[in-house]
């Protein structure tokens, strides 16, 4: 049988177009906001120094280039499946389409693993003293149980956590405004480039890491079939969501560097908690730590749901071994796919740190983004009758180059990150080969 994800055939009759522009905008914002800013402000500070806000701004500009490609493609092909669909439409190579889908899935697992490491660090220490690895693995167990409980339960939890994580960031912004009004802190530190790699390389490395806090916007393409007017509403929601997110991030980054010295931020696994503790505007540190833990939990939950469902979907279409397509009799959740993805996450959490895991997530998605930018140019030959957003040709072209540059060693990325990404991609190749061999044996047996 031909696979729907390979052929790009997505059923369109079962989904209702009920999502308007405002709801779509909120979804994009909620999808972007998450563990990245709560956990990585200090890591970015280590790269660039006091000017933490600048890598977030540059990352926004560069992410916007790729966003134009997604805006055009989702308007042209308003169906779910995202990068895998666009790759198939452009090249029609089953193995390449599968590897794109698998790489996106693995990026979700590495993102959740980074969130787990963040959960087990400074924020959790406000309540209980545990080794980071113990807290991280316990956290993964909780996320797995919520994922196993069912999709409706998971979605309800996600909505609540999205509101909470946004509130926590607004608290930091309020602290920054109050500090400026009171003349507290050192605003001049926001113009210092005293990172380990110097100004240029520091900004480049910091931008590659800050990308982690902005990824998520690409997930919103999966709502294309349920949006009332995706051709008109999706580009506005996409660019609007990115703009709102980066403004919040820059305000948070400026507040952090103004109130806390770079070294303290760099060495803390809970950098925003350091801000709360020195703020003139009083806010209970334990309450903020709880907000941060919930924000980190939301990021992990979203990514583990996405990853397990992608594995399940590929199994249903015969692309990976059929065992991953099994569901629990009572909970109706894909338990083998959940166990597979969480097993990989356990290994990643046990062997990597926050920065390395976040950087692996970014590396995997940058490769996918580069391909999506190429796809939009290739698919210019494919005309459609309806109107849709057209990206200026130079934007996806530059976007592809930028993604490849950010994925290169020029950013100072450690060799361990490339090795980890290569191993994860190799798992996909192995699954493809195993499934191919099994399918061949069955066809010979049937013959």
**CA angle 401-222-364, nearest 5°?**
35
**Global model pTM greater than 0.75:** yes
Alpha-carbon distance of 52 to 211, in angstroms, equals: 13
Distance CA 170, CA 415 (A): 36
- Taken in order of first residue, the domains within the chain and their CATH numbers are 17-446 (1.20.1740.10)
Measured CA distances, 231 to 138, 139, 238, 349 (Å): 43, 39, 12, 40
Distance of CA 279 to the CA centre of its chain: 30
- Please state the separation of Cα 16 from the chain's center in Å: 26
- Paired with 227 in beta bridges are 19
Instruction: Please tell me whether residue 345 adopts helix, strand or coil conformation.
Output: helix
Distance, CA of 86 to CA of 375 (rounded, Å): 6
Q: What pLDDT, on a 0 to 100 scale, did the predictor assign at position 158? A: 65
**What pLDDT is attached to residue 270?**
87
Distance from the Cα of residue 164 to its chain's centroid = 18
Task: Identify the CA nearest to 45 among candidates 250, 276, 206.
Answer: 206
User: Contact at 8 Å (CB) between 345 and 116?
Assistant: yes
* Interatomic CA distance for residues 36 and 365, integer angstroms: 15
pLDDT tens, residue order, the chain (447 aa): 333 433 333 343 444 565 667 777 877 787 788 778 888 888 899 889 899 999 999 999 998 999 999 989 888 887 656 788 889 889 989 899 889 989 998 998 999 999 999 888 889 999 998 899 999 999 999 988 887 876 555 556 666 777 888 899 999 999 999 999 998 889 999 889 887 777 888 898 889 888 888 887 777 666 665 667 777 788 888 899 899 989 999 999 999 999 999 889 988 888 999 999 998 778 899 999 999 998 888 888 878 887 887 788 777 777 777 788 888 777 777 888 889 999 999 999 999 898 899 999 999 999 999 999 999 999 988 887 777 788 899 999 999 999 999 999 988 889 999 999 999 999 999 988 888 887 777 777 655
Determine the number of helices (DSSP H) and then strands (DSSP E) in the chain: 18, 0
Task: For residue 316, give Cα distances in angstroms to 217, 231, 282, 320, 321.
Answer: 26, 30, 53, 8, 9
What's the N-to-C CA distance of the chain in angstroms? Answer: 16
What DSSP line would sit under 249-301, residue for residue? HHHHHHHHHHHS-HHHHHH-SSHHHHHHHH-SS---HHHHHHHHHHHHHHHHH
Q: Which long-range contacts (CB under 8 A, 24 or more apart) does 372-375 make?
A: 372/66, 372/69, 372/70, 372/73, 372/83, 372/86, 372/87, 372/218, 373/65, 373/66, 373/69, 373/397, 373/399, 373/400, 373/403, 374/90, 374/400, 375/69, 375/73, 375/86, 375/87, 375/89, 375/90, 375/91
Q: List Cβ neighbours of 430 (8 Å cut-off, separation of 6 or more).
A: none
């Amino acid at each position: 049988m031909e696979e729907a994800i390979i052929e790009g055939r997505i059923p369109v009759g079962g989904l209702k177009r009920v999502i308007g522009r405002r709801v779509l905008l909120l979804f994009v914002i909620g999808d972007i906001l998450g563990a990245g800013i709560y956990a990585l402000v200090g890591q970015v500070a280590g790269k660039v120094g006091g000017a933490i806000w600048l890598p977030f701004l540059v990352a926004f500009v560069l992410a916007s280039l790729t966003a134009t490609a997604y805006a055009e493609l989702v308007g042209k092909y308003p169906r779910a499946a995202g990068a895998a669909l666009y790759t198939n439409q452009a090249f029609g190579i089953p193995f390449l389409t599968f590897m794109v889908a698998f790489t996106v899935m693995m990026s979700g697992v590495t993102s959740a693993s980074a969130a787990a490491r963040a959960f087990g660090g400074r924020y959790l220490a406000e309540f209980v003293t545990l080794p980071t690895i113990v807290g991280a693995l316990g956290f993964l167990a909780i996320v797995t149980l919520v994922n196993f409980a069912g999709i409706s339960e998971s979605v309800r939890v996600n909505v609540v956590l999205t509101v909470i994580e946004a509130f926590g960031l607004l608290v930091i912004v309020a602290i920054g405004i109050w500090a400026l009004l009171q003349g507290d802190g050192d605003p001049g530190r926001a113009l210092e480039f005293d990172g380990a790699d110097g100004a240029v390389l520091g900004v480049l490395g910091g931008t590659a890491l800050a990308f982690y806090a902005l990824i998520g916007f690409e997930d919103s393409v999966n709502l294309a079939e349920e949006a009332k007017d995706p051709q008109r509403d999706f580009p506005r929601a996409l660019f609007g969501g990115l703009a709102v997110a980066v403004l919040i991030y820059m305000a948070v980054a400026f507040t952090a560097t103004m109130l806390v010295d770079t070294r303290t931020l760099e060495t803390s696994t809970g950098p925003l908690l350091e801000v709360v503790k020195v703020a003139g505007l009083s806010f209970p540190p334990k309450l903020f730590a709880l907000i941060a833990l919930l924000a980190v939990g939301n990021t992990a939950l979203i990514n583990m749901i996405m990853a397990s469902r992608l594995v399940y979907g590929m199994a249903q279409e015969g692309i990976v071994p059929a065992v991953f397509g099994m569901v629990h009799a009572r909970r109706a959740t894909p338990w083998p796919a959940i166990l597979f993805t969480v097993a990989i996450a356990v290994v990643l959490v046990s062997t990597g740190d926050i920065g390395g895991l976040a950087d692996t997530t970014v590396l995997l998605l940058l490769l996918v983004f580069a391909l999506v930018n190429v796809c939009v140019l290739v698919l210019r030959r494919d005309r459609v009758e309806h109107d849709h957003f057209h990206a200026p040709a130079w934007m996806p072209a530059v976007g592809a180059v930028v993604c490849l540059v950010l994925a290169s060693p020029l950013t100072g990325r450690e060799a361990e990150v490339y090795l980890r990404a290569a191993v994860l991609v190799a798992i996909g190749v192995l699954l493809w080969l195993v499934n191919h061999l099994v399918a061949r044996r069955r066809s010979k047996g049937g013959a």
